[in-house]
Structure 1
Amino acid sequence: MIQPAINAVRPPAVFDAAQTAGLLDFHDMVDALAVAADDYAAGRIHAPERQVVPFPQGGVMLSMPATAQDIGIHKLVNVAPGNKSLGLPTINGVVSVYDGRTGQALAVLDGPTVTARRTAAVSMLGIRSFMAAAPRCVALIGCGTQSAGHAQALAALHPGVRTVVVGRDPAGARAFVKTHRDLDLALEAAGSVPAEADVVITLTTSSIPVYTEPARAGRLLIGVGAFKPELAEIGPDTLRASLVYVDDPAGARHEAGDLIQAGIDWSRVESLSAALSQGVPPGKPIVFKTVGCAAWDLAAARCALRKKEFPQAVK
C-alpha cells in the first residue's frame, strides 16, 4: 500500500492575463517597487542582467531571474515580431514564483501583464518621487500596449487627470482615446505635447528621438520605450541639460539607447534608489529613464502573493 506523502506539494496557482491584472493593484505596486528599489540597491535582491537568446522566426527569448529572502521569480518571455501579421500578441511568456525557503513553485503569472503593469508602476513611482505635487497634465507619446498600461495606472493613482495622447498618426491617437474612454481620465488626442504638460512619458520603440524639446524645470520627462542600444526616444541636447536618473544603473549602461547614443557621462547619472533615499534637487529639469529589471517583477510577485488567494502569502 502506498503511503500518502507528508507535506505533499500543492501545484502552483496559474493565472491568466485578466487574473494577473487583478492581483496587481497599482497603489500596492508603487509601494512594493519603492521597497524593492531599496532592496536591490542594498543587495537584498539579486537580479542579474537579462539573458537574450535567439528565437525562431527572428524572435528573441528573454530570461530574467531574481531572488530575495522571501521569494524567487523567473520571467521567461518570447518576443515574436512576426506575430503581428498573424493577429497574435508579439510578447508571450510567464513569471514563475517560488517560495524563498523551500524553492517550491507558488504561482505562474502572465508575463506580458506583469511587465506592462510593473513598468507603468515604475513610472508612477517616478512621478511620486520627482514631482513636488500631483501632475496636472500628462502627455503620453505613443499609442501601444505600454501607453495603455500607463493610462490605466494614471486612472488608478491620479483619477481625472488631463492625459494627452500624442501619436505619430493622429488617427491612431484618436482611436486610443476612443478605446480607453471608460478610464477615469480627461483623455484627449493631440499631434504634439502641450506646453502645459508637467509630465511627459515616451512609450515608443523609435530609433530616432520623438522628444527633442529643450530641458525645462517643472516638467518631468520619463523615458520608457527605448530598451535597446539602437533605440532612442529623447534627444541628446535634452538629456545633457537635465539631471538624469535611471531605474537600474547596471542595465541602463547596456540598454538605455537614449543615454548611450547621447554619450552621456555616466558619473552624473543617479539611481532611482538614490532619489528615494536622498531626495532630488529642486528647480532642475529631470529625466527619469527606465529599462526594467527582474527586481521589479519580483516586487510585482510580492504584491500578488499578498492577495487573499494565497494562504502562504508573504507578510
Structure 2
Amino acid sequence: MSLALLDAAATAARLPYPALVHAVQAVLRDPAVQVPLRLVQPLPGGASLFVMPALDGRIAITKLITFTPANAGSARPTIQGDVVVFDIATGERRLVLDGPTVTARRTAAVSLLAAQRFAPQPAGPLLIVGAGAQGRSHLEAFAQGLPLAEVRIASRSAASAESLAARARELGLRTRVVSDPDAALAECPLVVTCTPASSIVLSALPRPDAFIAAVGAFTPGMVELAPDLVRHCARHGRVVLDTPDARHEAGDLLQAGLDVAGLAALADLPRGDGNEARTGPVLFKSCGWAGWDLAAARAAIG
C-alpha cells in the first residue's frame, strides 16, 4: 500500500466542505468511534504541543501539532504539524495530511453543520471577527453551505481584513470591512469569532435571531466573548457545545461563570429534535476534537 504525503493544497483538495460535513455527521452517528482525551503539553515561551488520537473500525489517526500564539501576525502560522492516518488491519500508514489545513477546514465544517441546524437566519449577513486561516475557511464553508449574499469582516490587521474581503468578493459576496465588530452585531444575525483569543473581541449583546460560532478560544485561559454576552445567550437563547469535552476547555463559558455541566453538545441535538420553536440567540462554542480530524481523514481517504 503506497503512502500519500499531502501538502496544504493537496489536503484541501481532498476535503471539500460538503463531504466534510457529511463525514462529521457520520462520525457523530458511529458507535465504533473512539476519541481518547488529547494531550496538551505546554512548551517554553507560551506554545503548546497537541497530541490528538482517534479511531474507528477501519482507521486510526493522530494529529500532532504545535500551537504558537507568538506567531500571530507573522509569516509563520500559529498551528503547524500533521495528521497521520493508519490502516488498523495492516498497521500501515495510509496518509499524512497537512495539520493546519485539516484543522481549519474541519473546524469550519463543524461550524457550518451547527449553523445549518440552529441558525435562525442562515442567509446572514455574516460577520467574521478574525481574518486568519480560520476566518478564510469559515468564509468559504459558509459561502458554500448557506444562502449567503453579504459579509462583514473585522480584524486587528487591516491587511488581513482586506485580503479576506477580496476573497469574499471572489465568491460573489457583497463585502465590507468594519472597524467596530460590536456595532456590526446589530445588522448581522450570523457571526463567527476566530481570533487568537488573547482578549475579548465582542462585548455588545447579539440580536434575538443571532447565531454565533465562537471557535478561537479552546483552553480555559483563552477568551473572545464578554461574559455578559455569553450569559445573555444562555439566559435568553441556547448555548451548544461541539463536544462534551468543551465543558472543561471553553474559556468563554468558564470565565463567564456558566454552569457548563448541563449544556448540550452537537451530537445531543440532531435536526428535528423538537426544539425548533425555541427563540433567542444561539451560541455555538467549538473547542476542537480529534473526532473531527477522524472525519477529515475519512473524507480524504474516500
Q: TM-score normalized by structure 1?
A: 0.85
Alpha-carbon distance in 2 for matches of 1:261, 1:273: 24
Query: Quick check: 1:55–1:78 contact (8 Å CA) kept in 2?
Result: no
2:254 pairs with 260, 264, 284, which one?
A: 260
Alpha-carbon distance in 2 for matches of 1:81, 1:223: 18
**Unmatched runs of 5 consecutive residues or more in structure 2:** none
Establish whether residue 249 from structure 1 lines up as the match of residue 276 from structure 2. Answer: no
Alpha-carbon distance in 2 for matches of 1:287, 1:57: 32
Alpha-carbon distance in 2 for matches of 1:270, 1:152: 27
Q: Which amino acid aligns with 1:262?
A: A
Q: How many residues align?
A: 293
1:229 pairs with 203, 220, 225, which one?
A: 220
SS in 2 for 1:228: coil
Tell me the C-alpha RMSD between the 2 structures.
2.3
Alpha-carbon distance in 1 for matches of 2:130, 2:6: 28
Q: Please state how far the C-alpha of 1:255 moved relative to its aligned partner.
A: 1.6
Aligned to 2:263: 269
Query: Quick check: 2:122–2:148 contact (8 Å CA) kept in 1?
Result: no
Q: Deviations over 1:48-104 (max 9, x none)?
A: 222122446553221000011122111011234455687333322111112233332
Cα 1:305/1:261, change in 2 over 3 Å: same
Alpha-carbon distance in 1 for matches of 2:168, 2:125: 17
Alpha-carbon distance in 2 for matches of 1:259, 1:194: 19
Q: Deviations over 1:144-164 (max 9, x none)?
A: 111011112123223652111
Q: Please state how far the C-alpha of 1:217 moved relative to its aligned partner.
A: 2.4
SS in 1 for 2:298: helix
Q: Deviations over 1:228-266 (max 9, x none)?
A: 21111122222223211100112x122210011011112
Aligned to 1:71: 59
Q: TM-score normalized by structure 2?
A: 0.88
Alpha-carbon distance in 1 for matches of 2:255, 2:185: 26
Alpha-carbon distance in 2 for matches of 1:133, 1:83: 35
2:279 pairs with 269, 277, 283, which one?
A: 283
Establish whether residue 107 from structure 1 lines up as the match of residue 95 from structure 2. Answer: yes
Q: Spell out the pairing of 1:16-31 with structure 2 (5 A cutoff).
A: 16-31=7-22
Q: Which amino acid aligns with 1:200?
A: V
SS in 1 for 2:269: helix
Alpha-carbon distance in 2 for matches of 1:284, 1:113: 33
Query: Quick check: 1:215–1:239 contact (8 Å CA) kept in 2?
Result: no
Query: Quick check: 1:29–1:300 contact (8 Å CA) kept in 2?
Result: yes
Aligned to 1:212: 203
When Rg is computed on C-alpha atoms for both structures, the one with the higher figure is 1
**Unmatched runs of 5 consecutive residues or more in structure 1:** 1-9, 307-315
Query: Quick check: 2:123–2:147 contact (8 Å CA) kept in 1?
Result: no
Query: Quick check: 2:64–2:82 contact (8 Å CA) kept in 1?
Result: yes
Alpha-carbon distance in 2 for matches of 1:142, 1:83: 15
Cα 1:52/1:162, change in 2 over 3 Å: same
Identity value in percent: 38
Q: Which amino acid aligns with 1:261?
A: Q
